[in-house]
Chain A
């Protein structure tokens, strides 16, 4: 059951081979056994989860089940959920219990899924290693001395360690795809605007996008069917006809044009990762795809542009955490300015403070044009590069991350080294494009490698189709970490 796909779980529930309560208990037990070691979850609440499971069982008994009814799903602790602690991995929200449900949580509740727990993450989603959480670092299930990637590292690790059949995350610069790659699972960042941001604690509003983690592309499609759709509460939510993302899964790949950007295969790419990605490209060719070289000439500018735009938005988005209305407040202060200063100095971790400082600086009078406006121009250039590339290919394919998972603590002293982890993933955020990472082999130390698939706007079905056909021929996605207890 721990290894079953969502479709298999759904069938078992429908056939009454297992109840949602039993299934939920199974995963709760797995979390209990492994979370001490992996620290993937911040909050687990058996009673609340089991209450939802009982309701799901009643729904299944009535014959009113939908594809995800009764299936436990873990959510990144960035999604506000009613009556659940929603900490965003930060001390400043370490006492914040959600008073409402995020759009994504509403969607899962509506589908009858069970909220299995809230997963650990880099504080306010700022990081690529899940080490900056107030609740301590998440460990990689393939090697607990390594990071699982980040910021949605808890969700990635939970799926990799079979503590949850599926999970959600958010991706601002790679925070779904990079941990998916480093933890050996599948993750998808949809087109910007496809999933409502309502109830998702904002990091960088113009880049943030929620998406699913699962063991296979087919599972991702089922999850995507639940979470996408127009929401009038988010002005950047896109109004369009709902799609069934499972519809094209089986389509043959003959004639598919796979764009390979040389910029993503150059300096900085570890040879083990490069070899695994090359093998995956060869596999796609075997399936009938055609390899097309494409250029993304402004790729090298994406990290600097991102580290202007994202901190700028974050510095403003995080202003609401001031200790006045909710969240952590410093104990002793002499006046208002002192309360703000101490609350925020004590409540935010180092990386968050660094980004607030960078963001405040680049938006300051006299610097705005040189940094923020210039970064926005680069952003448009990067979107144009992709538009040009998609005239010649259907998908842009390459490595998700330049290296496999690194050791905990290896990059915390050098923020720029940490930022370069997202060099291949950031361009899709800047352009607002959908992109996925799927397992495509193993590199040094037996650690997983991720294959990055970037599609044109709203081409999620195409990305999932390619990933699914690839997964029919390979078993990387079925491998599970050895050596975990239980």
Chain B
């Protein structure tokens, strides 16, 4: 008999605000310990929280994005609550979160697994603050506390338990990642630095039966670990049940070194967080006017940008690839809108090929590219008018532009890359090649297509690659009489 795996995800997305959720301290990552924690973050006596307006706007933006731009899933009045527990990296002894009334209720994420589309519904998304970090190494039997991260704004996004395989869970996490990072730009998405963290609730059951007992798996800091942890966990649960055992509701930690999950704490050991509305913060009210403003300021959806790229004449596949990230999509639209229609597909290929390779190599964002859109368009002009071949354009002119050697025309001239488009000159060379390669001519006439390519190659070699390939083809075919 089959087992059905049931997965729900809780995702913490760090919001990319300049300052913290309830204080004015900076949120930048990687500063010296405790240099970005102000009086509020270290919970001095008498300090008070003030909600960060930008973080609230980002949560609203998320709510709109997961509900097709409609705002009925945004609670006009939501409530900050205190989650009480003691830990040294939690300076107040409570975390400010949202409990009964989150800012976003409902919404959906669309995923595609093996060509099949599926919609995963969201339960809620709420605002909260991050804790600091406990450092257990280098302190000789003691622990260090770094409160730089304490108070960083988080959006916790909770899905319904609607995923049925590790693959679906990963597809959901990737879709959510793309949404918050590329579509609506509220999170930098860096999983290693903890900007996008997922916990998975996993249970198994016989199809049609009620939900089984779940375990929550923590520490899934890459998509690969998520897939492996869920697979391990589902297998573990199935083995227990097939041995007539019972699943214990608990929190488990994934260990990538052993590729296992192990128990962290059981339900009995779980904290009683004693949630109650934070009396320091009045209910969070989001007005219609504000929602409208946020809606207007939202970036154009990448789906719409993809359709615009297709309208500009790109293949669907090119458009898909170019709209994988917000910055590439923006760059593609501005590059292609001003390019002649016939050159757009070529420019798109350049972006996806050599340009993207160079940017990766030097770890640059496309907006910091050393080759500017004007230069690319000037070069595509020269390929289109036959001045230079596509292969020299990409193989020689582009790297030279990247190195700051000047405009395409200057580089073509300096390096002698101009194509030979003078048909008289090409004909002369073709004649020479034909006379020296009687065997290939014979083979070709006998029906061997390969022989033709060899002859083209000879002509190109004789012109050091500068002959216009289209002309070479045409002249050869005419001379060979086929």
Chain A contact residues, CB within 8 Å of chain B: 79-80, 86, 88, 93, 96, 99-100, 102, 197-202, 204-206, 232-236, 312-313, 315-316, 318-322, 324-326, 336, 340, 360, 363-365, 368, 372
Is the beta-carbon distance between A319 and B86 smaller than 8 angstroms? yes
A236–B279 Cα distance when bound, in Å, is 9
B69 within 8 A of A: no
Enumerate chain A residues within 8 angstroms of B275, measured Cβ to Cβ.
363, 368
The one of B44, B47, B82, B274 in contact with A360, judged by C-beta atoms closer than 8 angstroms, is B274
Cβ contact of A236, chosen from B46, B94, B272, B282, cutoff 8 A:
B282
A sample of 26 cross-chain residue pairs with beta-carbon separation below 8 angstroms, ordered by A number, consists of A86-B46, A100-B39, A198-B46, A198-B47, A199-B47, A204-B279, A232-B50, A235-B48, A312-B276, A313-B279, A315-B274, A316-B82, A316-B94, A319-B92, A320-B93, A322-B88, A324-B88, A324-B145, A325-B42, A326-B44, A363-B275, A364-B272, A364-B274, A365-B272, A368-B274, A368-B276
Tell me, rounded to whole Å, the shortest Cβ–Cβ distance linking B358 to chain A: 48
Measured between C-beta atoms, what is the minimum distance from B175 to chain A in Å? 35
What is the minimal beta-carbon distance from A11 to any residue of chain B, in angstroms?
35
Q: CA separation between A324 and B45, bound complex, in Å?
A: 13
Using Cβ atoms and an 8 Å threshold, which residues of chain A touch B84? 315-316, 319, 363
Q: How far is the CA of A80 from the CA of B40 in the complex (A)?
A: 14
**Closest residue of B by beta carbon distance from A124:** B45
CA distance A368 to B39 in the complex (A): 31
Give the CA-CA distance A316 to B48 in the complex, in Å.
14
A320 contacts B92, C-beta separation under 8 Å = yes
CB A44 to nearest CB in B, in angstroms, measures: 21
Q: A232-B50, A313-B279, A372-B276 are in contact. Are A93 and B45 (CB under 8 A)?
A: yes
Q: Which residues of B contact A235 (CB under 8 A)?
A: 48-51, 280-282
Judged by a CB distance under 8 angstroms, whether B43 is at the interface is yes
Contacts of B91 on A, CB cut-off 8 Å?
Answer: 320, 324-325
Hey, what's the 0/1 contact readout for B6-48 against A, CB within 8 Å counting as 1?
0000000000000000000000000000000001001111111
- CA of A326 to CA of B91, assembled, Å: 11
**Would B45 and A201 count as touching, CB distance under 8 A?**
yes
Closest residue on chain A to residue B23 by CB atoms? A233
Minimum Cβ distance to chain A for residue B237 (Å): 27
Q: Are A202 and B46 CB-contacts (below 8 A) given A235-B280, A316-B84, A324-B88?
A: yes
Alpha-carbon gap, A79 to B91, bound state (A): 20
Would you call A363 and B48 a contact (CB within 8 A)?
A: no
What's the least CB distance linking B135 to chain A, in Å? 14
Question: Are A86 and B274 in contact, with the CB atoms below 8 A?
Answer: no
How far is it, in angstroms, between the C-alpha of A313 and the C-alpha of B81 when the chains are bound?
A: 12
How would residues 54 to 95 of chain B score, 1 for a CB under 8 Å from any chain A CB and 0 otherwise? 000000000000000000000000000010101010011110
Contact A322–B50 (Cβ < 8 Å): no
Whether the pair A102, B46 counts as a contact (CB closer than 8 A) is: yes
| Chain A neighbourhood of B82, CB < 8 A | 316
B43 touches A320 (CB 8 A): yes
Q: Compute how far the CA of A364 lies from the CA of B47 in the bound complex, rounded to whole angstroms.
A: 26
Inside 8 A of A79's CB, which chain B residues have their CB? 46
CB of B236, distance to nearest CB on chain A (Å) = 29
Other-chain contact of B276, A233, A322, A363 (Cβ < 8 Å): A363
Check A336–B276 contact: CB distance below 8 A: no
1/0 contact string of B262-290 vs chain A (CB within 8 Å): 00000000001011100111100000000
In the assembled complex, the CB of A323 is this many whole angstroms from the nearest CB of chain B, namely 10
Q: Which residues of B contact A202 (CB under 8 A)?
A: 45-46, 280
In the complex, A316→B272 CA distance in Å? 13
Asked if residues A322 and B93 are in contact (CB atoms below 8 Å), the reply is: yes
- Shortest distance between the CB of A409 and any CB in chain B (Å): 29
Given contacts A319-B86, A320-B93, contact A198 B45 (CB under 8 A): no
Nearest-Cβ distance from residue A92 to partner chain B, whole angstroms: 10
Q: Report how far A197 CA is from B145 CA in the complex, Å.
A: 28
* In the bound complex, CA of A214 to CA of B332 (Å): 72
In the complex, the answer to whether B279 meets A234 with C-beta atoms within 8 Å is no
| Bound: A8/B272 CA distance, A | 57
List of A residues within 8 angstroms of B42 by Cβ: 325
Instruction: Name the residue of chain B whose CB is nearest to the CB of A326.
Output: B44
Nearest residue (CB) in A for B49 is A235
Residue of B nearest to A96 (CB): B45
Residue from the list B45, B274, B281 in contact with A320, Cβ < 8 A: B45
B86→A322 contact, CB < 8 A: yes
Which residue of chain A has the shortest Cβ distance to B274 in the bound complex?
A363
Q: Which residues of A contact B43 (CB under 8 A)?
A: 320, 325
Contact A80 B48 (CB under 8 A): no
Min distance, Cβ A240 to any Cβ of chain B, angstroms? 15
Tell me the complex Cα distance, A320–B43, Å: 7
A331 to chain B, nearest CB (A): 15
Q: State whether B274 touches A233 (Cβ < 8 A).
A: no
A364 to B274, CA, bound (A): 5
Q: Which residue of B lies closest to A202 (CB)?
A: B46
Q: Which of A200, A206, A336 contacts B279 (CB 8 A)?
A: A206
With CB as the reference atom, state the residue of chain B lying closest to A313.
B279
B274 proximity list for chain A (CB < 8 A):
315-316, 360, 363-365, 368
Indicate if the CB atoms of A80 and B49 lie closer than 8 Å.
no
Cα A316 to Cα B276 in complex, Å, equals 10
Q: How far is the CA of A363 from the CA of B274 in the complex (A)?
A: 5
The reply to whether B39 and A99 contact each other, CB–CB distance below 8 Å, is: yes
Docked CA distance A447–B32 (Å): 60
Given contacts A198-B47, A235-B50, 5 further A-B contacts (CB under 8 A): A99-B39, A100-B44, A232-B50, A312-B276, A321-B45
Chain B proximity of A457: nearest CB distance (Å) = 15
Q: Which residues of A contact B93 (CB under 8 A)?
A: 316, 318-320, 322
Contacts of A368 in B (CB 8 A): 274-276
CB neighbours of B46 from chain A (8 A): 79-80, 86, 102, 197-202
Q: In the assembly, what is the distance between CA of A316 and CA of B46, in Å? A: 13
Contacts of A321 in B (CB 8 A): 45
B85-126 CB contact bits vs A (8 Å, 1 = yes)? Answer: 010100111100000000000000000000000000000000
B98 → A minimal CB distance (Å):
15
Pairwise interchain contact B44-A205, C-beta atoms closer than 8 A: no
State the CA gap A201–B50 with chains docked (Å).
17
Chain B residues 389-413 with CB under 8 Å of chain A are: none
Specify the chain B residue showing the minimal Cβ separation from A309: B279
Considering the complex, give the chain A residue whose CB is closest to the CB of B22: A235
The CA of A325 and the CA of B132, in the complex, are separated in Å by 13
List B contacts of A93 (CB < 8 A).
45
Least distance between B283 CB and chain A CB atoms (Å): 11
In the bound complex, how far is the Cα of B39 from the Cα of A372, in angstroms?
A: 30
Cβ–Cβ < 8 Å partners of B51 in chain A: 235
* Per-residue interface assignment for chain B, residues 219 to 250, with 1 indicating a CB less than 8 Å from any chain A CB and 0 otherwise: 00000000000000000000000000000000
Contact B48–A198 (Cβ < 8 Å): yes
**A211 smallest CB distance to B (angstroms):** 16
Residues of A contacting B145 with CB < 8 Å?
324
On chain B, the residues within 8 Å of A99 by CB distance are 39, 44
A232 to B43, CA, bound (A): 18
| Contacting residues, chain B, for A324 (C-beta < 8 A) | 88, 91, 145
In the bound complex, how far is the Cα of B279 from the Cα of A354, in angstroms? 21
A102 to B49, CA, bound (A): 14
Identify the closest chain A residue to B83 (Cβ): A316
A86 to B46, CA, bound (A): 10
Cβ 8 A contact of B48, one of A234, A313, A360: A234
- List residues of chain A with CB within 8 A of the CB of B280: 202, 205, 235-236
CB distance from B268 to the nearest CB of A (A): 13
- Closest chain B residue, CB of each to CB of A323: B88
| Complex CA distance for A278 and B45, rounded to whole angstroms | 43
CA distance A126 to B366 in the complex (A): 61
B309 to chain A, nearest CB (A): 45
Please name all residues of chain A whose beta carbon is closer than 8 Å to the beta carbon of B282 when the two chains form the complex.
235-236
A311 shortest CB reach to chain B, Å: 12
| B94 partner residues in chain A, CB cutoff 8 A | 316, 319
A101 — nearest CB in chain B belongs to which residue?
B46
Q: How far is the CB of B84 from chain A (nearest CB, A)?
A: 5
Write the chain A residue with the least CB distance to B43.
A320
Contact in complex: B45, A86 (CB < 8 Å): yes
The 7 A-B residue pairs with the shortest CB-CB distance, nearest first, are A319-B93, A206-B279, A363-B274, A205-B279, A199-B46, A320-B43, A201-B45
